[in-house]
A and B are shown apart, each in its own frame.
Chain A
Amino acid sequence: MANVTLRNVRKTYTGGFEAIKGVNVDVGDGQFCVLVGPSGCGKSTLLRMVAGLETVSGGEIDIGGRVVNQVEPADRDIAMVFQNYALYPHMSVFNNMAYGLRNRGMAETEVKTRVDEAARVLELSAMLERKPRQLSGGQRQRVAMGRAIVRQPKVFLFDEPLSNLDAKLRIAMRVEIRKLQRRLNTTSIYVTHDQLEAMTLADILVVMNGGQVEQIGNPLAIYEKPATTFVASFIGAPPMNLMSMRTEEIKSQLGSAGEAGILGIRPEDFVITDQTPAGGVALPLTVEAIERVGAETFIYGSRAEDEQRVAATPGELPPGEVIVRVPGTEAPAIGQKIRVAAVRQKLHLFSGDGRTRIEG
């Protein structure tokens, strides 16, 4: 049981490339922290620095009140689950899990007790004598988990552990990991690029971009109040609609928030209506495409005014396109002109560069 605190942590490679540009994160005892961001944002590097697999160029990494910058990975009392599982291919499942315990000189009876207990929890008891190559992807994943939990470490580190599994198994394992972590109550840091995994697993969510932290907080709080346009478009699927507010029409509708440069509206916050709510925003759209997924339907519409282009920096929508999410399967026909509106409380306003959220 331990807190993990990162104080102004930096990583600069010998070539001069700055992978981590000063990160401050505080993970409380027993909390589940998820680092999320696009590939190359430095999240894996940061995790590997906590594990001791990468050197720290600046700042401090503190595990359970001890600065571990110069401590060997083996002595940090952590366990890590790798993306490719990193099982020892020549050892049986039992020996894979026992390896870390035997290295620490644990008595063989105790090793057996612990491995058997972990195998029972992870439903691996029947395959303890098998080699990793005789296991399915999901079973290998569980062995990797088992290898981490038998050690009873202070901190679990997960490096995209589910990205090699198929979609269905990924959801099942996600729930299992969460349940296991709750039960063991071990501080965990989990790296993923999947925002859905991030939202569902995290006690604290750390959104990273370009080696920096964009926002830290409770997943729902981040969803409701994204601090930057990057977070706004990264968290939530489909992404938030972001549009520049050049036209006086929208600026006048919003009244007080005259300085704002970018307006964000989540697809699910639109309603199809002819009315314009007071202080809200209404957009006339031409329906371009429809995606029905059963419980909900996504409407891709283009806006009439050409000059109202989307200005979000990491925008995933082409200029002028707006996604609207409606429940059920009812949808207008392609080519039809519709009018969508969102109420004032559901609008997100950002400065022109997208770096600051404006509360209005």
Chain B
Amino acid sequence: MQKQSIFQSKLLPYALVAPQLAIVLIFFYWPALQAVIQSFLLQDAFGLSSSFVWFDNYIELFKDPAYFEAIVRTFFFSFAIAVSSLSFALLLAVMADKPLRGSMLYRTLLIWPYAVAPPVVGVLWIFMLHPSLGVLARYLRAAGVDWNPLLDGNQAAALIILAAAWKQISYNFLFFLAGLQAIPRSVFEAAAIDGARPMRRFWTVTFPLLSPTIFFLLVVNIVYAFFDTFGIIDTMTRGGPGTSTVTLVYKVYSDGLLGGNLGSSAAQSVILMVMVIVLTGIQFRFVERKVTY
């Protein structure tokens, strides 16, 4: 059946989508275009003039060992955040899926952290783990841990991973719970009758049947760890100590706005843009294929 246009005028449909298009063009395409242009320019120290330098900014970046470190660090953070948050969320979802008294309350509470904005998450964890103010830091110290994320880069990294993973657990939990509930109960019952003990049942039935959800969440979590952790890093460590918690996104900010190197910052953001396009592409590809097992 042919779908017929119900609009009399040809202009009306365009007029109706115009506001949304304007927002997209002004706030997304225009800055993106600016970034691409900026990435080919080199500014003088006072920002008075700029010259066209072709790919010099990019070449400079790839020669810079600090940039390479940031790439490795970002991948490590992403991996650590995704794995820890996914596995913890899966554990909670499997437990929440059992028919328990008050399970609704339990589930609601587990979803709450998702509503907290990333900078607030950062502040929250700082309050708990700040070396001189933190409540938990005192216990850590009492337990003999030399806890000082303000000086120790590894501890600072652990802190970022912890806070970022914690925030993402809620989101993952929600999808895992929905995924678990989509599996017919009788499949688990059949496995129980077939003599599979709970652990084996999890690894041979639950886990494979959740694999589409796991893959989807893996991509979402990597995107999250790449881009949305900015607020957490900025409130908790500001990239420090030294550069031990500077990720690619944070480097765009610190090189550009703090360091004033707009050309390099723009080149970095163009690289990030390409990465996010690739990741989104993978995700779309995957979402189209509904069944993967």
Contact = CB atoms under 8 A, between A and B. Distances in A.
A223 interface: no
Contact of B186 (A52, A82, A100, A104): A82
Contact of A99 (B186, B204, B209): B204
Contact of A103 (B189, B196, B211, B291): B196
A82 B189 contact: yes
A260 interface: no
A79 B195 contact: no
A74 B192 contact: yes
A99 B191 contact: yes
Contacts of B194: 74, 99-100, 103, 147, 151
A58 B186 CA distance: 24
B183 to A, nearest CB: 9
Interface residues of B, number: 20
Interface of B: 184, 186-187, 189-197, 200, 204-205, 208-209, 211, 291, 293
A88 B205 contact: yes
A135 interface: no
A90 interface: yes
Given A86-B187, A90-B293, A99-B204, A53 B192 contact: yes
B189 A89 contact: no
A46 B186 CA distance: 16
Interface of A: 51-53, 72-74, 78-80, 82-84, 86-90, 99-100, 103-104, 133, 147, 151
A188 B197 CA distance: 25
B208 A90 contact: yes
B293 A84 contact: no
Nearest to A51: B193
Nearest to A76: B193
- The 6 tightest CB contacts between A and B, nearest first, are A100-B194, A90-B293, A86-B186, A103-B195, A74-B195, A86-B190
Contacts of B209: 89-90
A99 B194 CA distance: 7
Contacts of B211: 90
A82 B186 CA distance: 7
